[in-house]
Amino acid sequence: MSARLRRVDAAAFRAETAGQRRFQEPTLDPETSERLRAVFGRAVGADEAVRIIVADVRERGDDAVRDWTQRLDGVEVASLRAAPESLGAAWEETAPRLRQALAVARDRIADFHRQQVDMAARGGPDLCLRPVAMRRAGCYVPGGRAAYPSTVLMSVVVARVAGVGSVAVATPPGPDGRAHHAVLAAAHIAGADQVFVMGGAQAVAALAYGTQTVGAVDVVVGPGNIFVTLAKRAVVGSVGIDGLAGPSEVLVVASEGADPEHVAADMVSQLEHDPLAWAVCITDSDRVAGAVADAFAAAAEGAARRGVIASAAGRHGMLVVCRDMGEALELVDDFAPEHLELVGAAAEELVDRVRNAGAILVGDDTPVPMGDYVAGPNHTLPTGGAARFSGPLSVHHFIRWSSVTRLRREEMEALGPVAATLAEAEGLQAHVDSIRLRLHEAGSRTR
């Protein structure tokens, strides 16, 4: 199965993507649907399955987490919490080269996110908004057979920089019922307080509501599969969340002079994530479009995950040829990509004209994988068009605001009648009485 990019014009791209840039429950593949049927004894959709799991964990706690892990993943977990000493042990046993890489990445991520910390109250001494770090955060880290220590750093380090009191990691067990060695090592160097060996919807529910072993958190952050995402949607309101993650996506704006092999490599690297991933190159040059198309076909053919790449390219792999860079930027803002690469001669002049993108990577030496691991800004980003209204995971996701109001007696006397009039207009007599009681007392004191 060969992987090729479809070539379309701007109008066709708008028409094809307009209805797909909102979060929606995807259609499950046949294998996953059959697994759910076997587990539940009947046909269920992903959303219904998640709601059943979440409700069960809320009611039964640890037992439900273990039961669903065994039923869905076929793994027995002896202890939901990784032994505290296992984090340090994993770090000591990690190869020096990986330890060095984790340390460099941690420091760059911490340095970048420290620039976001501003705990100054907004307003005056009597009327202000006061920022406060959250007490407890839950960081979901995908896993199972794979390991994502970079996601540990991107969430735990940021929570720590924000001043969160306690940070918990939840990550799925491997076949041996334990957390992945690299995740434990990353949790150690990032400063996590606990690591819980649990994944999927049951992990999100445990973090949101608490169990006998897991303390309830104030916010749940981190990427995951569709079941994790739907679970976050189910518990929002009981806890805060960072957003609803969908398939990964990159949009490359390639002006004249862009290196077609580099563009193709970056598109292939994004499509290897998921058969539903997006990789789109927008250019105003027929020559660049043709060169990228040829380079992509060659790179995809030689890729280790070429089957996944071909499947994804057939759905969401495109070359869009525009009349000029102005039209290209209009498409960018409509699409609101998770990752936006600007390459070629016009890259620098386009940066400040972009309105909607999760991460903007500028120049030939700034591919998405550098942002994923070590550049400094966060790799947990809005997808599915959510970059129209949200941004990367940041310190601000771990800080909440309280308003502080302190009225002087003269302000109460001046503003009380105004507030009473508004309360009367809304038919809230007890509100009126509360205000007038104080006004009456004030009047009595002046006599």
Give the catalytic positions in this structure: 338-339
**Separation of alpha carbons 375 and 194, rounded Å:** 27
Return the DSSP state at 355.
-
Three-state SS letters, 359-424: EEEECCCCCHHHHHHCCCCCCCCCCCCHHHCCCCCCHHHHEEEEEEECCCHHHHHHHHHHHHHHHH
Question: What does the alpha-carbon distance between residue 233 and residue 155 come to, in Å, rounded to a whole number?
Answer: 19
Residue 39 contacts residue 73 (beta carbons within 8 Å)? no
Helix (H, G, I), strand (E, B) or coil at 272: coil
Whole-Å CA distances, 256 to 5, 46, 70, 331, 342: 19, 44, 54, 18, 11
Task: Determine contact, residues 341/375, Cβ cutoff 8 Å.
Answer: no
How many CA atoms does the CB half-sphere of 41 hold within 13 Å?
0
Contact in structure between 263 and 283 (CB atoms under 8 Å): no
